[in-house]
Amino acid sequence: MTSDPQATCSTCDKPATDKCGGCKAITYCSKDCQIKDWPKHKKTCKDFHLEKIIARAADFIQQAFFGFSEQTWDTPIIKIEEHPRAIVIYYDDQKQNKSYFVKFPENLMVNQKMKMSVLCALKCEEPLGWMSDLLKSLLEGLNITIEEVNLALESIPRNLTYVMPNGAREDIWPRHTHAAFRVTSSKTKRQWILDISGPQYGIYKNCWEWPTYQKSFAATLIRAYPSGTHESLFKIVREIKGNPSLTHGVVGDAAKCHKVAATNWAKENGMSLSYMMTLEDEVFEQQKSHLLKAMNGAVVAFVKTGNYAAKVRAARAYTNAHPGKAEMECMQASQLFFNQLDNLMTN
């Protein structure tokens, strides 16, 4: 048990100095009081412990995704406008890039929330496609199920508008549906939404109990798919010639480096990622920082040294020769994939 001199005992209300070793949320003045309270506290302790680990996982996945998105940034931005109900992003022509990746425009970010919003703009499926294995590793051993859910949000705190080089302007909401992870406790059936890309809608909290999330944004569940669904889709899309071979092919190769770095870090440090999630707060924050640094470094190295120049040239040549074809093939592949999956899940 750990000290907390300002607390009172959960059993007798006397000054307490020790926290429950499981949930770290309840304090006791003595071992006797803790034993006496255990029959009542047992269920709460386990529920709190589970929720804490899930919340840690959501935060870790989001930080990992932000780092990955920043290091694999591929679209120049001319300017950004911040309004009370919207952020407006003016994109430049990506085809003018000498390389595929460009430096993230840190100089245009007026605050951290704007940066979070920009990093996940139009990317709600990417955390699912690139981070599903990482989430499984973080939550390994828990009595839960992980799904990838498609959601309709009827209300959002703030919209995001993008303006293309040709002047075309579009709000991402309500035209686009949303995607997130859903974690369900097999025992209690409690559900949490891990909304990694929520900042694009002004949703900065990344872990919500489903009833609260549903009420806050008038959210409707459209469909739930098994964990790994978007990863499987991305493997199909990366084979399409043109831009998808970059957005899902080259970036997919960077994601592999990201994933391998996490696996190697766990081996080198002699601990599983799921064990890291159970560490005391201070130690956890230290280890989390080290792991994120290792993962980010692997992506930086790939971007700097990866042999993908020929793929970029081939993709751009194909796009110039067949304008719009890759986008159509990508849409068709996605529709076919989900139609087939829906049929399998309903039969």
Residue 238 in this model has a pLDDT that exceeds 70: yes
Widest distance between CA atoms in the chain:
78
Residue 101 in this model has a pLDDT that exceeds 60: yes
**Percent of residues in the chain assigned helix, strand, coil, to nearest 5:** 50, 20, 30
CA–CA distance, 296 with 104 (Å, rounded to integer): 14
Residue bearing tokens 């309903």: 346
Let me know: does 117 contact 202? Beta carbons within 8 Å: yes
Q: Is 270 exposed, middle or buried (0-12, 13-18, 19+ CB in 10 A)?
A: exposed
- Other CB atoms within a 10 A radius of the CB of residue 244 amount to 21
Give pLDDT, residue 81: 96
Report the percent of the chain where pLDDT is more than 90. 81
- Classify residue 119 as left (phi > 0), alpha (psi -120 to 50) or beta: alpha
Angle at alpha carbon of residue 155, lines to 150 and 158, rounded to 5° = 100
Q: Specify the 3-state DSSP secondary structure of 30.
A: coil
pTM over 0.75: yes
The pLDDT tens digits for 283-296 are: 999 999 999 999 99
Residue 1 in this model has a pLDDT that exceeds 50: no
Confidence of residue 43 (pLDDT cuts 50, 70, 90): low
CA–CA distance, 244 with 213 (Å, rounded to integer): 32
CA–CA distance, 18 with 15 (Å, rounded to integer): 10
CA–CA distance, 294 with 225 (Å, rounded to integer): 30
Residues with Cβ within 8 Å of 241's Cβ and at least 6 positions away in sequence, in order, are 314, 315, 318, 322, 326, 329
Tell me what the mean pLDDT of segment 1-16 comes to. 73
Give pLDDT, residue 89: 97
The pLDDT tens digits for 194-223 are: 999 999 999 999 999 999 999 999 999 999
Tell me what the mean pLDDT of segment 83-103 comes to. 87
Count the alpha carbons within 13 Å of 135 in the hemisphere toward its beta carbon: 31
Q: What's the mean pLDDT when you consider all of the chain?
A: 93
Residues with Cβ within 8 Å of 178's Cβ and at least 6 positions away in sequence, in order, are 124, 150, 151, 152, 153, 195, 197, 198, 201
Residue 3 in this model has a pLDDT that exceeds 50: no
- Classify residue 78 as left (phi > 0), alpha (psi -120 to 50) or beta: alpha
Cis peptide before 226 (omega within 30 of 0): no
CA–CA distance, 24 with 18 (Å, rounded to integer): 9
What is the DSSP code (8-state) at residue 201? G
Give pLDDT, residue 69: 98
CA–CA distance, 116 with 69 (Å, rounded to integer): 10
Least confident stretch, 22-26, 148-152, 230-234, 270-274: 22-26
CA–CA distance, 141 with 275 (Å, rounded to integer): 10
Query: What are the residue boundaries of the structural domains of the chain, listed by start?
Result: 75-226, 236-346
- Sign of the four-CA dihedral 311, 314, 316, 322: negative
Residue 94 in this model has a pLDDT that exceeds 80: no
Q: Which amino acid is at 153?
A: L
Which of these, 294, 267, 283, lies nearest to 56 by C-alpha position? 283
Tell me what the mean pLDDT of segment 146-163 comes to. 97
Strands 86-91 and 159-163: parallel
Confidence of residue 20 (pLDDT cuts 50, 70, 90): confident
Confidence of residue 6 (pLDDT cuts 50, 70, 90): low
Let me know: does 146 contact 136? Beta carbons within 8 Å: yes
Q: Which amino acid is at 286?
A: Q
Residue 156 in this model has a pLDDT that exceeds 60: yes
